[in-house]
Amino acid sequence: ISLQELMQSKFGYNRTAITEFILLGLVETPELRPVVFLVFLFAYLVTVGGNLSILAAILVEPKLHTPMYFFLGKLSVLDVGCITVTVPSMLARLLFHKHTVPYGACLTQLFFFHLLVGVDCFLLTVMAYDRFLAICRPLTYRARMNQAVQRILVAVSWALAFTNALTHTVAIATLNFCGPNVINHFYCDLPQLFQLSCSSTQLNEMLLFAVGFIMAGTPLALIITSYAHVAAAVLRIRSAEGRKKTFSTCGSHLTVVAIFYGSGIFNYMRLGSAKLSDKDKGVGVFNTVINPMLNPIIYSLRNPDVQGALWRVLKGRRSLA
């Protein structure tokens, strides 16, 4: 018997328009739910605490008042937003043993998730451009990356991401949902909703690929181009120590880019599969929990300036306590 048949026999459905979805969550075994609750509560607190600590360090340390750390601070806020859109609602369902989510709330979660992830995508591109200017155009760096330019780049990132998120939300709202309403996931996203639609999703999937190519492919191409120029500039440095020091500022960013795009491509390039499996839950956990939790660790691990600022923030808290 298939998973879909099991869900249909367990929850039932008719051909009328549905008003709510049923999220199965990460686990269906009742005994495992308290463990999952504690693990994800811990992950949420660590992620929020880590990213807000990075933000506090950037605000209080004058050495970190540079364009690179200005963008990193914005990225930390986005990471808190990304995990807050999905995890607290999942924890609430585990705590109160409630699986249903209203249709409107599902689309709202979809919109804000794609909005924040979209801004994340564009900010990573802006950070690559910042590294390109700092390393390849050092004499004009301050003029080209002044505060007005920084604010404009952030505003444009939000505008493009808002357009992308609104496009997908409006497109999914045009679909009919009249059959099964069970989502084998812990949050609402496009692949899972496509599977439940009674109407054809061909146009929606084409839209996802087309917009995805523009909104994700173009930034990725710009990141690769920026770092190709950076790599060429670094290789022209004669001393090994100079090359290492120059490129060390890029290593953390490249790691975050690789994780972000790797998990995102795997998640959205599998729309043609016959059914979505538990692997998609794993990718979802990676996108919504692991990525935001790893970012502050990655950016502080090999950065003595951030480590020093974090230590002073912690010391300041201890002295106040």
Q: φ, ψ for residue 23 (rounded to 5)?
A: -90, 120
How many angstroms separate the Cα of 236 from the Cα of each of 141, 233, 241, 280? Answer: 19, 5, 13, 43
Per-residue pLDDT, 258: 87
Distance CA 131, CA 240 (A): 19
pLDDT of residue 151: 96
Of 254, 241, 239, 236, nearest to 135 (Cα)?
236
CA 106 to chain centroid: 18
Q: What percent of the chain has pLDDT over 90?
A: 40
Q: Which pLDDT belongs to residue 2?
A: 41
Domain spans, the chain: 29-310
Question: Is beta strand 20-23 parallel, antiparallel or unpaired with respect to 182-183?
Answer: parallel
As given in the structure block, the two tokens for residue 23 are 């999220």
DSSP 3-state assignment of 183? strand
Architecture label for domain 29-310: Up-down Bundle (1.20)
State both tokens at 131.
């590294």
| pLDDT score, position 317 | 52
pTM reported for the whole predicted model: 0.86
pLDDT of residue 278: 65
Residue ranges of the chain whose pLDDT lies below 50: 1-16, 272, 274, 318-321
DSSP state string for 209-255 = HHHHIIIIIHHHHHHHHHHHHHHHHHHT--SHHHHHHHHHHHHHHHH
Please say whether the dihedral angle defined by the alpha carbons of residues 5, 10, 14 and 19, taken in this order, is positive or negative.
Answer: negative
Residue 242 exposure: Cα atoms within 13 Å on the Cβ side: 8
pLDDT at res. 271: 54
